[in-house]
Amino acid sequence: MAKPTIQDARAVLKSAFGYDEFRPGQEAAVSAVLAGRDTVVVLPTGGGKSLCFQVPALLMPGLTVVVSPLISLMKDQVDALTARGLPAAFINSTLTSGQVSDRLARADRGEIKLLYVAPERFDYGRTAERLRNAGVSLLAIDEAHCISQWGHDFRPSYLRVKKVHEALGSPTTIALTATATPEVRRDIARELALTNHETIITGFDRPNLTYFVVPTKNDAEKEKRLVEILRKHDGLAVIYASTRKAVDHLTTVLERAKIRAAGYHAGLDDSRRREVQEAFMGEKIRAIVATNAFGMGIDKPNVRLVIHYAMPGTLEAYYQEAGRAGRDGLHSDVFLLHAFPDRFTHEFFIKGSYPERVVVEKTYEALKKLSDDQGFVSAEAEDLARAIKPKPNSREIEGAVRILTRSGAVTLSNGEQARVHVRLLATPERIKRELTGESNSELGLLRALWRGVGAALHTGAVVDLDGLPPGLGGSAASTPLLDALQDRQFLVWERLGNGLYLADMKAPLSGFKIDWTVLDRRRAAELSKLQAVQKYAYTKECRRGFVLRYFGDPAAKTKCAGCDNCLGIAATTTVKDDTPRRMRRDKKARRAPSQVADVADDVSLGVAEERLLGVLRTVRSTIAREEHVPAYIVFSDRTLAELAVRRPRSLTAFQDVRGVGPMKLERYGARFLDAISKADDIEAA
């Protein structure tokens, strides 16, 4: 069978997705993948990264596995694909084991072309082996910056992806991200062991976004400015807050201001998060207030406003979250409400994640002093902090304990049944004398314990019974043997309670592996990123150019027409009733019958076209409710605008409109043609 060509890809782009041509960067990425080249793709948010692997997936002979970090991302993309009649599914923690088995079986039978999987899923059972047997042609890694320890959203689970790649049979790999500095791009290729890979970067600019920074003095003023912005600017809005508490408070503030809003954060249960997300996607609420738990990969194209209530910790996070506005290519606004103390919150978290070496060393010494004779420490972080001079904050102590745990110096127990503390009493001579025979199960257990922890068994060591060789039967079979050995005074043992255990109370910290250089590098890198955001907030120069230079984009300029500084709009720290000149000009343009600026730059609508556009939106909303999907999955605003202008009278003419593919033509074409025909009859009368 001949390899698919870029001409084949263009045909699929039209037939499956309704687009006549690829966007910048997409065609180069698709060509590289079809040629079997590993590829790193950097496209701006809204630049169409998903098509870079979705189109090849429909052309290549086997299965495409998409590693995706969030449940919401998977669901949104799979919903959009299945609405087009394309064979896609996901596997994540929301499914029952029966549903997972069914989807894997469908993949085996070749009924699924795109399977979205969380990286953690490969820790369970034989998932990678099952998929390899199904025949994986392409591995797509979405939000690939998560794999880099120098990226803004590093996730340890993504470090498994390299082994997953090997377990799947080392298929062609495409890694995609919207925010990656040159260092992060190199790290992605290194972590995935990509060979002779191609890197495709189309630039980071989002020309349809206008950036504003609003200086404020305190939270009360931020709340006033937030409400003011939402009242003066139409359209759906995403408001980002830094903590769950802030999300809940701001949601209440907006509800009191009669703005339909809901909060979204990781503290909500799954059903409530799903309910809020679907309400926003279905446009039942106008604004969603969220932590950064919301939005990664969310394909909601008509968000008109993104407002950061507090300064993010990195420009990467800020730019990615800002990029959730205007994914349909239409004009949208991005606001940062900034107060200087915002940085202190981030510094607090950075110091907690990457404490100074002296804090780690003093924490280890405090643990030794507060431990009992078996190395158990029941102290809380605050107790440890009081034992250290000068006193660090509790967040730094928690960070130090995490580092000590990773190094093996400390073990954390949540009272699990399988984790026990064992101390050997008997001498080797007594063991040889009294526990005889190779088949002696008590002797077998002692040998397994010695192989696991060695000489530390004499002073006491923590052991995971379920981690012992399979033949010993885990904790259920081992605990009766431990009881028998304790009764005969060969050893003493007890289950671990909640708390910390020192691996070796006499060992110096230097006896454990801690990479202080990496720790210092990470801390310095995070503080440097924080400083970059602070500089962005205070710059008097072009904000767009500032961000593009940060990402190493050669297209960065010193002047633009899309930020407050270049537009000469001076943000003030008092709430005013006037609208900046550019905003007033845009609103007038949107009201003018000759052109509607918030529909599309190249689609001009008169009064009649605007009226028809309203009718078409009503039809779209009706279909969306019937099919239980967001409105944009039926047709985008851009497609409706072109329909209003071109007024097709036949299915043949209808299919020539941008965004209309065969599946949507068959499913929706007749209803929209009927609406257009009736509108024509009314106007003619």
Interval 134-162: pLDDT, tens:
899 999 999 888 888 666 677 777 877 88
Q: Which contacts of 442-447 are long-range, i.e. CB under 8 A and separated by 24 or more positions?
A: 442/481, 442/484, 442/485, 442/490, 444/471, 444/472, 445/472, 445/478, 445/481, 445/482, 445/485, 446/485, 446/490, 446/491
What mean pLDDT is predicted for residues 287-299?
Answer: 72
Tens-digit pLDDT profile for residues 544-558 = 999 999 888 888 899
6-201 and 209-339+527-567: identical CATH topology: yes
Q: Which CATH class is domain 6-201?
A: alpha beta
601, pLDDT greater than 90:
no
Q: What is the pLDDT of residues 655-666, one digit of tens each?
A: 888 888 877 888
112-134: average pLDDT: 84
390 upstream amide cis, omega within 30 of 0: yes
Calpha distance 503→411 (Å, rounded) = 7
Q: Are 48 and 273 in contact (CB under 8 A)?
A: no
State which of 304-308, 315-319, 425-429 shows the largest mean pLDDT: 304-308
Helix (H) or strand (E) holding 199: strand 198-201
Q: What is the pLDDT of residues 444-468, one digit of tens each?
A: 899 999 988 888 898 888 888 878 8
Give the whole-angstrom CA distance, residue 659 versus residue 665: 10
Least confident of 55-64, 224-233, 428-437: 428-437
pLDDT confidence of 417, banded at 50, 70, 90? low
**pLDDT at position 124:** 65
Tokens 């069978």 map to which residue?
1
Confidence at residue 75, expressed as pLDDT on a 0 to 100 scale? 82
592 vs 514, more confident: 514
pLDDT higher than 70, residue 361 = yes
Tell me what the mean pLDDT of segment 374-398 comes to. Answer: 84
**Per-residue confidence (pLDDT) for residue 89, from 0 to 100:** 93
H, E, C per residue of 134-182:
HCEEEEEECCHHHHCCCCCCCCHHHHHHHHHHHHCCCCEEEEEECCCCH
Q: Is the pLDDT of residue 52 over 90?
A: yes
Give yes or no for residue 648 having a pLDDT over 70: yes
pLDDT for 240 equals 95
Q: Lowest-pLDDT range, 211-215, 312-316, 554-558, 566-570?
A: 566-570
Write down the pLDDT at residue 415. 56
- The CB-based long-range contact list for 46-49 (8 Å cut-off, 24+ gap) reads 46/206, 46/301, 46/323, 46/326, 46/327, 46/328, 46/329, 47/23, 47/178, 47/202, 48/22, 48/23, 49/142, 49/176, 49/177, 49/178
Domains of the chain, by residue range, sit at 6-201, 209-339+527-567, 358-517, 607-684
Top pLDDT among 377 and 258 is at 258
570-582: average pLDDT: 42
Model pLDDT, residue 299:
64
What is the third-level CATH fold of 607-684? DNA polymerase; domain 1 (1.10.150)
Q: Write out the E strands in 488-642.
A: 491-495, 498-502
> SS3 helix, strand, coil % of the chain, rounded to 5?
50, 15, 35
Least Cα distance to 92 among 119, 111, 113, 62 occurs for: 119
Return the sign of the alpha-carbon dihedral for residues 554, 555, 560, 562: negative
Contact status, residue 668 vs residue 634, Cβ threshold 8 Å: yes
Is the pLDDT confidence value at 341 over 70?
yes
Q: In 77-92, which positions are buried (b, 16+ CB within 10 angstroms) versus exposed (e)?
A: bbbbbebbebbbbbbb
Least confident of 556-565, 575-584, 674-683: 575-584
Burial of 207 (C-beta count, 10 Å sphere; 0-12/13-18/19+)? middle
pLDDT at 100 (0 to 100):
86
Instruction: Report strand pairing: 39-42 vs 172-177.
Output: parallel
pLDDT of residue 600: 44
User: What is the spatial distance between Cα 643 and Cα 612, in angstroms, rounded to a whole number?
Assistant: 9
In this prediction, what percent of the chain has a pLDDT beyond 70?
A: 90
Residue 564 has pLDDT above 90, yes or no: yes
Per-residue pLDDT tens digits for 56-82: 999 999 899 999 877 767 888 898 898
- Asked if pLDDT for residue 509 goes beyond 90, the answer is yes
C-beta of residue 287 within 8 angstroms of C-beta of residue 236: yes
Specify the CATH superfamily of domain 209-339+527-567: P-loop containing nucleotide triphosphate hydrolases (3.40.50.300)
**Which pLDDT does position 678 carry in this prediction?**
86
For the ranges 78-92, 379-393, 581-595, the lowest mean pLDDT is seen at 581-595
- Rounded mean pLDDT of the chain? 85
Whole-number pLDDT of residue 565: 93
pLDDT, average across residues 101-107: 90
What average pLDDT score do residues 297-309 get? 85
Q: How many residues does the chain have?
A: 685
Q: What is the dihedral of CA 100, 106, 111, 114, to 10 degrees?
A: 30
